[in-house]
Structure 1
Amino acid sequence: MRKPETIERMYLDFDGFFASVEQQADRRLRGRPVGVVPFDGTDRTCVIACSREAKAFGVKNVMPVAEARQLCPDIVLVPQKPDLYRRAHNALLSEIQSVIPIDAVKSIDELTCRLDGEGRRDPQHLAARLKTTLANNVGTVITSSVGFAANRQLAKMACKEGKRSGATYGNGVMIWRPEDLPAPLLGLKLSDIPGVGENMERRLIRSGIYTTADLYRLEPKHMRKLWNNVTGERLWYALHGYDVQAPLSSRGMFGHGRVLPPESRSLAGAFEICRLLLTKAARRLRREDYYCSGLWLWLAVRDRNWSAKMKLPIVHDDQAVLAALDELWKRVRATYPRGVTVFRVGVTLYDLSRAGERQLDFLLNDDRVRQKWERVSNAVDGLNARYGKTVTSLGMWKPPAGGHVGGKISYTRIPTAEDFW
């Protein structure tokens, strides 16, 4: 495995992305504490993203609105606009590409680039060019923090430290050259290391590893044992400056989840939103040329979660998945015959296979029916694509207040324009 002798990677993270996009789009919000919320006109929810001005008062992401108001009485709450964030993401990436090729988009507000010779020699100049280009062509309100290091993992950690550096939140630059390490690492908390979540940190502490310095001194095989897989060993090599390439991931499922608005928290309201979410998931399944053979439904109700799975023939049409949802919903009603308050729902299509690899079930003679419903679904998709919105669907199409069914705010998946139809 190769160990670079100089910095080779840049990691860029936009600061308070959703809130700063709101401020860039609406100058009345600039300089004010802003909290992005799922729905308009209700305090029965949480702040899902906040601006640097709000963070200065102690407001954090995923904080109940009532608590945020206590910390910051002047906070301005704005309902989420996922399509605005998608368009801002695309505009920002376009400007970055004009300065340096993007190696990988890690999330809607994070990306990584490989450095050329000039970028390795003068990373400060590269960071300044990027920030100037974004400020001139997109706006000055959306700022970013940038980290440079020998590999992607270290660059991400440097970026996070750059975000904390200076007198103001974000918009920093941090360079970790190989000759500077491991000193910058040793002052970090275990939780500052990507891949060390709460559960992993507890496991490390139980094993007598309390600091990043303790972790750094371990051997690769010991790290592998602690993680119970090769991930731990890869992390050891990444922390020690090796060029570790993450294995290619494959698509495992298509799904959508949603916090329900107050008026949709009955079983009837939750079912209607589940139908819309599942239809959106099936559309994505078809657009990416997959079939599925399983449906998973889950609900967050008071004091607990409910979930169930159902096997399917290898399908991707709306009729098949919606019929399966009907069957699963009978189980929901049997579990809660008197009804229940549902706060969040999710649907997932899993056990995927590529269209060219589909194998029919010899014991289930339904190919003629499946082909008919696939033609119906393809015709529906064609009409919706022609008009750029949902003009026809299998069953009623009545999005809830606030919309954003299947196109919700997301850090890990970047919605496409079709997600908002």
Structure 2
Amino acid sequence: MKFNVLYIDMNSFFASVEQHLNLELRGRPVGITATEGDHGSCVAASYEAKAFGVKTGTRVREARELCPDITFIPSRHRVYVRYNLAVAEVLDRFAELTRIRSVDEFQLALSGEQKTLEGATELVAQMKAAVANEIGESLRFSAGIGPNHLLAKIAGKLEKPDGFSWLGEENMPQALAHLELDDLPGISKGMGARLAKAGIQDIPSLVALDPRHARKIWNSVEGERFVRSLQGMDVPLPETKRGGYGNSKVLAPEFRQPAEAYLVSRWLVEKATARLRADGRVAAKISVGMNAVDGARWGRSIKTAASQDTMTFQNINRALWRAAWPALKGRDLMSISVQLSDVCLLSERGGDLLSDLKPAERTERERASQAADFINARFGNGTISFGVNKPHPGFFERG
């Protein structure tokens, strides 16, 4: 059996971060609240508190009655986000981090031996050890693998805390037969009622459902996608619609000098224009932005003739960096961004009488860029590059 997706679900993440930061809280019941005082509810609870029946949504006063020794701490979202990124950095060294699903959930793509049960088991053990050693033993996670993101996510919640499970054609649907329909992500009470009306009372019946029937029950294509995913098909997540193509990069320390960051920006331009061409589109505007470690910001946009040529946008990128250079001196950069916008289909681009370019026809340089895409796809990314750049893959990438 081959697995494609690894899903990581941090265990009681908010409370675990607080226990990591405060030795006195380790091994003790902790509740995280949205506000200070006895009003409001818990937004998270440690496993020590959960053992007394405290859970997300439990009122503070009720939690205190259930667990008199509980310690309440107001939520510190920025702190949890920092630890989210720290965990993501560790995970991304072992497998490709494809999505940060939430502040405490991560989705990764498996490759090579990682796609086998033995390889994935070893991978998860290595990740658990790395998170414990590099960040803190209080931060633990449950992991799940599957042929698609839905089954991997469900598997990741089967054994908590600190567990590891898998779902696939060899153990479905029996591995989930003990769960209720509304235990599955995406099955609300309302959807459960619809399924019951259609005669679907349990998970095995849902898995056996004709996906076309599911579309009618959901009154949406999402129903068909959901059931096909439960049946083990690798249904890709729909792409978010966007008005342009862009990449943002939170820079690792070794790339924060302006000269190094500029080379990363050239790599971002290559990535954005390659995606532009892959979708058969052109852009007529490029925006470049920089955020310095000291809080200073710089950004500017330039419009141009609609194009999908990498060198056209590289030249504009260079001009924008030259304009920004006086403001960048003596500063380290925290992040940079490159965005291509004013996008339309190549097939909708008009011609140019002065250059004898017909409507929807590629220029000579655009054809050269397309040829480079073909070679890179066949022999590996970076086989052909458009001048000097500095690839910066990993968890820092945003876009």
TM-score tier after normalising by the smaller chain length? 0.5 to 0.7
Tell me how far 1:162 sits from its aligned partner. 2.2
Q: What SS class does the counterpart of residue 161 from structure 1 fall into?
A: coil
For the aligned residues, what is the CA RMSD? 2.4
- CA separation in 1, counterparts of 2:132 and 2:234? 32
Q: Answer yes or no: is the 8 Å Cα contact 2:7–2:143 preserved in 1.
A: yes
Equivalent positions of 1:283-298 (< 5 A) are none
The one-letter amino acid paired with 1:13 is D
Q: Which residue of 2 aligns with 1:31?
A: 27
Distance 2:79 2:94 in 1: 23
Which residue type is aligned with residue 231 of structure 2? H
Q: Which structure 2 residues correspond to residues 237-386 of structure 1 after superposition, within 5 A?
A: 237-250=228-241
Deviation at 1:250, TM superposition (A): 3.7
Deviating runs (4+, > 6 A) in structure 1?
none
Distance in structure 2 (CA, Å) of the matches to 1:231 and 1:177 = 21
2:29 matches 1:7: no
Match of 2:153? 156
Amino acid at match of 2:84: H
Distance 1:190 1:39 in 2: 33
- 1:56 equivalenced with 2:51 (yes/no): yes
Q: Give the corresponding residue for 1:207.
A: 198
Say whether the 8 Å CA contact 2:43–2:56 is kept in structure 1.
Answer: yes
Quote the offset at 1:96 in angstroms: 0.9
Q: Select which of 17, 21, 24 maps to 2:17.
A: 21
**Counterpart Cα distance in 1 of 2:212 and 2:140:** 40
Q: Do the aligned partners of 2:99 and 2:107 also contact (CA within 8 Å) in 1?
A: yes
Q: Does 1:123 align with 2:134?
A: no
Q: Structure 1's 177 and 216: CA in aligned 2 closer, same or farther, altered over 3 A?
A: closer
The one-character-per-residue Cα deviations of 1:247-298 (angstroms, maximum 9, x if unpaired) are 112479xxxxxxxxxxxxxxxxxxxxxxxxxxxxxxxxxxxxxxxxxxxxxx
Q: How many residues align?
A: 249
C-alpha deviation, 1:185, in angstroms: 2.8
Q: Is the 8 A contact 1:7 1:178 kept in 2?
A: no
Task: Report sequence identity in percent.
Answer: 38
Which of 95, 106, 119 aligns to 1:111? It is 106
TM-score of the two chains, using structure 2 as the length reference: 0.59
- In the alignment, what sits opposite 1:75? 70
**Aligned partner letter, 1:133:** A
Distance 1:199 1:176 in 2: 26
Q: Distance in 2 between matches of 1:185 and 1:44?
A: 38
- CA offsets 1:107-137 (integer angstroms, 9 cap, x no match): 1111111111121232111110000000000
User: Equivalents in 2 of 1:39, 1:218: separation in Å?
Assistant: 45
With normalisation by structure 1, the TM-score equals: 0.56
Deviates more, 1:138-147 or 1:108-117: 108-117
Q: Which shifted more, 218-227 or 202-211?
A: 202-211
Instruction: Report what 2:210 is aligned to.
Output: 219
Residue type at the aligned position of 2:122:
H
Q: Please state if 1:133 is matched with 2:124.
A: no
Worse-superposed segment, 200-209 or 152-161: 200-209
1:161-240 superposed matches below 5 A: 161-163=158-160, 170-240=161-231
SS at 1:6 equivalent: coil
Structure with larger RCO (C-alpha < 8 A, sep 6+) = 1
Counterpart of 1:47 in structure 2 is 42
- The code of the aligned residue for 1:76 comes to T
